[in-house]
Copies of this chain bind each other. A is one copy, B any other.
Amino acid sequence: MTKVEAAEAVVLAKSDKKLTWEQIAAEVGMSPVWTTSACLGQNSMPKEVADKLCKFLNLGPEVSAALQAFPYKGSETVVPTDPLIYRLYEIVQVYGPTLKELIHEKFGDGIMSAIDFTMHVEKVPDPKGDRVKLTMNGKFLPYKMW
């Protein structure tokens, strides 16, 4: 079973049981972003997490095995067209050099890791319209000199 088929099985079970990603994440004891990304095939689950998830969703061991496999990450669309995802791309386009300036100013030459990295999504109620809050947290990695 491929990771794509496993993702479809998870999404189907989630829909049948009328569960949310938040509920599934809480059940397996991990964050919603990480849990969702692993279910969609963009992260690999340790065996115990994958098994707990499959038990919760009544899915077989072949789904668990696929969720544990190490994924080929990323999408085939160089510039995303879905408006929600494009806005994130636009933020990189517009604010990339700004973030480069400020991270270098605070930390020196190096990067924010996208591997030793966590992310959370929150809903911030606002009378003028609720707001989406994304928090990214990555280890600063200084360029090595040798």
Residue positions of A touching B, CB distance < 8 A: 20-22, 30-34, 36-37, 40, 42-44, 46, 49, 70-107, 109-119, 121, 123-124, 126, 128-146
- Report the minimum CB–CB distance from A117 to chain B (whole Å): 6
* Docked-complex contact A102 and B36, CB < 8 angstroms: yes
- Report the minimum CB–CB distance from A11 to chain B (whole Å): 9
Task: State the CA gap A140–B96 with chains docked (Å).
Answer: 22
Residue of B nearest to A110 (CB): B115
**With A93-B81, A109-B70, A135-B135 as given contacts, are A43 and B102 in contact (CB-CB < 8 Å)?**
no
Residue of B nearest to A45 (CB): B145
* Docked-complex contact A42 and B115, CB < 8 angstroms: no
- Other A-B pairs, 13, CB within 8 Å; known A33-B95, A111-B115, A131-B140: A40-B101, A42-B97, A43-B109, A73-B82, A73-B83, A74-B93, A86-B86, A94-B114, A106-B121, A110-B115, A116-B129, A116-B141, A116-B142
Task: State the CA gap A34–B70 with chains docked (Å).
Answer: 21
- Report the minimum CB–CB distance from A77 to chain B (whole Å): 8
Task: State the CA gap A110–B70 with chains docked (Å).
Answer: 9
* Docked-complex contact A37 and B94, CB < 8 angstroms: yes
Residue of B nearest to A74 (CB): B81
* Docked-complex contact B143 and A44, CB < 8 angstroms: yes
Q: Which residues of B contact A134 (CB under 8 A)?
A: 99, 112, 134-137
